[in-house]
Amino acid sequence: MKKRYPGTLSIGDNNTVIALSETEVGKVFTIDTRSDIGSEAEKMKFANSINSLIVGFIRLDELNEDTELLVMERLFPMDFRAYEFEKRELLLDVFEDELHGLHRGGFVHRDLRIPSDMPGERFDNIFLTNRGLRLIDVGVSALKHQVGERLFSRFVEQELKELEVFRAFFLSR
């Protein structure tokens, strides 16, 4: 079992997310993960410069001398089943527009639907919040200028397939 920190919100395969305050959470990076934390911060800032679909980057910080934090805005997920079909359609339309905006801007999330061998719900990285649908966890995201046109296009194509599965899931509940 992974280490449980005070204020733990979730524990993933690679990182734990802890509550820092009512407005901030920290994604915990231990061992020597400086390149991973820096890469994730860079991708998050890049996406945030395009639109607000991806959780907001705040800063890099440290919890202690062995533990670094990627500090982000705190999201409070809501249950989408409390909303009428028509409102969910509207929320989904905005989500799709913003996702396409990220693609046009050179960012692809690559993890709308988590792999089937990972614990958790299949769309754990998509939150419904009071500001609409939002995406978290950009760890495996890709930037077009880093991976090139061909690979980026393949990632976008896969993400659009995942988006169709999410659409059916989100509207059928």
Q: What is the pLDDT of residues 31-88, one digit of tens each?
A: 755 558 999 999 999 999 999 999 999 999 998 888 999 999 999 999 999 999 999 9
Among candidates 120, 39, 117, which has minimal Cα distance to 77? 120
* Residue where a domain terminates, one of 73, 89, 105: 73
In a domain, 167, yes or no: yes
**% of the chain exceeding 70 in pLDDT:** 92
Q: Are residues 52 and 132 in the same domain?
A: no
Same domain, 29 and 51: yes
Q: Give the lowest-confidence range in 84-93, 118-127, 164-173.
A: 118-127
Domain of 96? 80-172
State the CATH number of the domain containing residue 65: 3.30.200.20
Q: Is residue 1 part of a domain?
A: no
In this structure, the answer to whether residues 24 and 92 fall within a common structural domain is: no
Question: How far, in Å, CA of 92 to CA of 32, rounded?
Answer: 38
Question: Which range, of 5-9, 23-27, 45-49, averages the lowest pLDDT?
Answer: 5-9
CATH code assigned at 106: 1.10.510.10
Pair (96, 42) in one structural domain: no
Q: Would you state the pLDDT for residue 34?
A: 52
Name the pTM for this structure.
0.91
- HSE, side-chain direction, 13 A CA sphere, residue 5: 21
Alpha helices in 51-143 (DSSP H): 85-105
Mean pLDDT of the chain: 91
Does 2 fall in a domain? no
pLDDT score at 3 = 73
Neighbour-count burial of 12, counting CB atoms closer than 10 A to its CB (0-12 exposed, 13-18 middle, 19+ buried): middle
Q: Are residues 51 and 92 in the same domain?
A: no
CA angle 79, 84, 88 (to 5 degrees): 70
- SS3 call for 167: helix
Do residue 85 and residue 59 come from a single domain?
Answer: no
Checking if the pLDDT of 118 tops 60, the result is no
